[in-house]
Chains A and B, each alone.
Chain A
Amino acid sequence: MSENGKVSKNRLHGLWALTNRELKKWYKAPIVFLLTIIQPIIWMGLLGKSMNIGAIFSSSQIPVIAFNPPLTASQLGQLNTAFQSLSSSIMTNTFGVTDYFSYMAMGMVVFVTLFTAAFSGMSVVWDRRLGFLNKVLSTPVSRSVIILSKVFSAALRSIFQAAIVVFVAIVFGLKFGTNFTVFSVFGVFAIVFLIGMGLSSLFIAINLRATRIETPQAVMNLITLPLMFASNAFVPINLMPGWLQVVAKVNPMSYTTDAVRRLMIFSNGMGKFPFSPPFDFAYVAIFAATLTTVGIILSWRFLNK
């Protein structure tokens, strides 16, 4: 038992094996897999359809009694038409689209990646607690590969979840923008992959030294909701108070959501938005590259004690 000559000199060996392990743990566990599919459906069904902001501007909301003398049928018809065009122009000015559901659904695409990313932070701690991490560390596999495998698997899972959210949104009545083509979906997958990389690197870096499973849970609770609310996931940035706008304009979630909306639902010349698509992609790509690098550097530092 002493022929060792066939050991690969490739620094990235083991990357696909470890990534594949993470993915197998996910799709081979039927309950976990089912939950990742059901979760976006529930979010969309409950949140998306209950927060029906567009209904506020429907003509049934007109306070008819306020008019004295009462309006004639033709006057009421004119008012209805005027009100509808007013409401659609308000919606378009605020959200860029006439229905809030489409707006929110595309925010949801990005929102679900947050949870997928947060789970990769948890899996670091599990691997440590179960001794799997030590076992991997005793092999010649590169320390950065250990981190990269978790980052890639989270990014790939994010793409899958994004696909499900888009599909569910279409079923629930998503209104595509005039620029939408099938290729737009691939654009969505690309940016979701990038944000998935960045966010999971963030969670992994934070939990790299944690030994208790409570730590990543606390981190998740602390980070996910602020990241979500300080972004344009559900509310446009220009409706926010000034200080929150500052945060939202730094938050990479905002750029991702913006890119997804531009690809999927916005039509030409709609809305006044602070970003442009190439800038969105560049910003999220830089975020992903930076945080992945930070994660790798921290792995050299903290996975070797």
Chain B
Amino acid sequence: MSEDVIKVEGLTKVFNGSLVAVDHINFSVKHGEIFGFLGPNGAGKTTTINMLITLLRPTEGKASILGSDIAKQNVDVRSSIGFVPQEYTADEDLTGYENILLCADLYGIPKTVSKKRGLDLLNLVDLAPFKDKRVQTYSGGMRRRLELACGLVNRPKVLFLDEPTLGLDVQTRAAIWNYVRMLKKEFGMTIFMTTHYLEEADALCDRIAIIDHGKIVVVGTPEELKESLGGDIITLAIQKDIDITELMRKIEHVVDVKKENGAYLIKSENGEVTAPLIIEALRREGHIVIRLSLTKPTLNEVYLQYTGKSLRDTEESREAVMAQRTTLGKART
């Protein structure tokens, strides 16, 4: 088996003959990697995940998971993956434990095994004290954790997480992140996740693919992507109106100097080192620094660079997200 756990070549999905949701994408996910699909709502993230977990047939192209073709060997694919959908799919009328046992039965896991494993998983996501309570009484965070536990019941080699923290509060989000990190660290699980939260992609993912209008615009580690912007930005203002561009260019790590509205925008490969050097150099020349700030590039700037729009603009309330999802859901069927 190759090292690539997920291999995608020219994968395409067209709905109703005209709506191109995913447009000839190529990528691969390595063993033990957390791979993030980052993009705004409607970019094609869920469609891609649905094709990979064999819910949707690709219109064109192919993909394989652990060497099994998603179209031809779909039962093999289904047996070896876990899927945590973005909705709360646990049955509200059943208890948490009953839900896990139901999931286990769907994978054909014998009761003798699933009874013990179900308890272990509930322990893992800290739901053991609530195992005999109906899911109806669970909070959003508890339901999300239960979904996660259900997705792990067949001990998958590859776990698919669709928007794992959508609509969760900051604390619960951090808790989910910890579980995901633990799965990677302790079980060496390969994880494919979609998200439209930049900080989530940044905090969790080993590699990120930015997807927009059904196309992958760039793939890389968060650091690579940020570095691809050319480095940190130091914004500087001095008292006298003298051109110091040449002076700045000589300083270590500086790549570019621009003057904008009376302030200098200095791009540096290593902002922390450059900033003190700048102050020193200016003081030696007798200039007085009145303002200096250092900005590290964030994924937001990366996103802006590659898609031409800010992801923050597309972050919406949960209601708006759900409304859009309904519209998309109709288009998909």
Chain B residues whose C-beta falls within 8 Å of the C-beta of A7 in the assembled complex: 79, 107-109, 154
Chain B residues whose C-beta falls within 8 Å of the C-beta of A60 in the assembled complex: none
Chain B residues whose C-beta falls within 8 Å of the C-beta of A6 in the assembled complex: 109-110, 113
In contact, A2 and B105 (Cβ under 8 angstroms): no
Task: Pick from B79, B80, B85: contact of A135, CB below 8 A.
Answer: B85
The reply on A25 being an interface residue by CB < 8 A is yes
Stretch binding the partner chain, chosen from A9-17, A171-179, A189-197: A9-17
The size of the chain B interface, using a CB distance under 8 A, is: 43
Chain A residues whose C-beta falls within 8 Å of the C-beta of B154 in the assembled complex: 4, 7, 139
The reply on A137 being an interface residue by CB < 8 A is yes
The reply on A209 being an interface residue by CB < 8 A is yes
In contact, A14 and B87 (Cβ under 8 angstroms): no
Task: Pick from B78, B86, B329: contact of A138, CB below 8 A.
Answer: B78
Contacts A24-B98, A134-B85, A140-B79 given; indicate if A4 touches B155 (C-beta within 8 A): yes
The reply on B215 being an interface residue by CB < 8 A is no
The reply on B259 being an interface residue by CB < 8 A is no
In contact, A135 and B105 (Cβ under 8 angstroms): no
Contacts A1-B156, A4-B154 given; indicate if A138 touches B108 (C-beta within 8 A): no
Stretch binding the partner chain, chosen from B3-11, B51-59, B228-236, B291-299: B51-59
The reply on B226 being an interface residue by CB < 8 A is no
In contact, B155 and A2 (Cβ under 8 angstroms): yes
The reply on A136 being an interface residue by CB < 8 A is yes
Chain A residues whose C-beta falls within 8 Å of the C-beta of B79 in the assembled complex: 4, 7, 140
In contact, A132 and B91 (Cβ under 8 angstroms): yes
The reply on A220 being an interface residue by CB < 8 A is no
Which B residues have a C-beta under 8 Å from some C-beta of A? 50, 53-57, 75, 78-81, 83, 85-89, 91, 93-94, 98, 101-103, 105-110, 113, 150, 152, 154-157, 187, 189, 329-330, 332-333
The digit string for A256-287, where 1 denotes a CB below 8 A from any CB of B, is 00000000000000000000000000000000
Give the interface centre of B86, B330, B333 by most chain A CB atoms within 10 Å: B333
In the bound complex, how far is the Cα of B93 from the Cα of A28, in angstroms? 7
Which A residues have a C-beta under 8 Å from some C-beta of B? 1-4, 6-10, 13-14, 16-18, 21, 24-25, 28-29, 130-132, 134-141, 209, 211, 304-305
In contact, A141 and B106 (Cβ under 8 angstroms): yes
What distance in Å separates the Cβ of A186 from its nearest Cβ neighbour in chain B? Answer: 30
Chain A residues whose C-beta falls within 8 Å of the C-beta of B56 in the assembled complex: 305
What distance in Å separates the Cβ of B295 from its nearest Cβ neighbour in chain A? Answer: 40
What distance in Å separates the Cβ of B87 from its nearest Cβ neighbour in chain A? Answer: 3
In contact, A21 and B94 (Cβ under 8 angstroms): yes
Chain A residues whose C-beta falls within 8 Å of the C-beta of B75 in the assembled complex: 140
Give the interface centre of A7, A135, A304 by most chain B CB atoms within 10 Å: A135
In contact, B152 and A131 (Cβ under 8 angstroms): no
Chain A residues whose C-beta falls within 8 Å of the C-beta of B109 in the assembled complex: 6-8
Contacts A4-B80, A134-B55 given; indicate if A139 touches B106 (C-beta within 8 A): yes
What distance in Å separates the Cβ of A80 from its nearest Cβ neighbour in chain B? Answer: 59
In contact, B108 and A130 (Cβ under 8 angstroms): no
Chain A residues whose C-beta falls within 8 Å of the C-beta of B86 in the assembled complex: 131
In contact, B93 and A29 (Cβ under 8 angstroms): yes
Top 4 closest pairs, chain A to chain B, by CB = A8-B108, A17-B105, A131-B87, A13-B108
Chain A residues whose C-beta falls within 8 Å of the C-beta of B150 in the assembled complex: 135
What distance in Å separates the Cβ of A4 from its nearest Cβ neighbour in chain B? Answer: 6
In contact, A139 and B103 (Cβ under 8 angstroms): yes
In contact, A3 and B110 (Cβ under 8 angstroms): no
A-B contact pairs, 23 of them (CB 8 A): A1-B187, A2-B155, A4-B80, A4-B155, A7-B154, A8-B108, A8-B109, A17-B106, A24-B93, A130-B88, A130-B89, A131-B85, A131-B88, A134-B50, A134-B85, A135-B83, A135-B103, A136-B106, A137-B54, A137-B55, A139-B154, A141-B108, A305-B55
Residue of B nearest to A15 (CB): B105
Give the interface centre of B91, B105, B109, B154 by most chain A CB atoms within 10 Å: B105
Residue of B nearest to A16 (CB): B105
Residue of B nearest to A212 (CB): B330
In the bound complex, how far is the Cα of B57 from the Cα of A115, in angstroms? 35
Task: Pick from B107, B152, B329: contact of A140, CB below 8 A.
Answer: B107
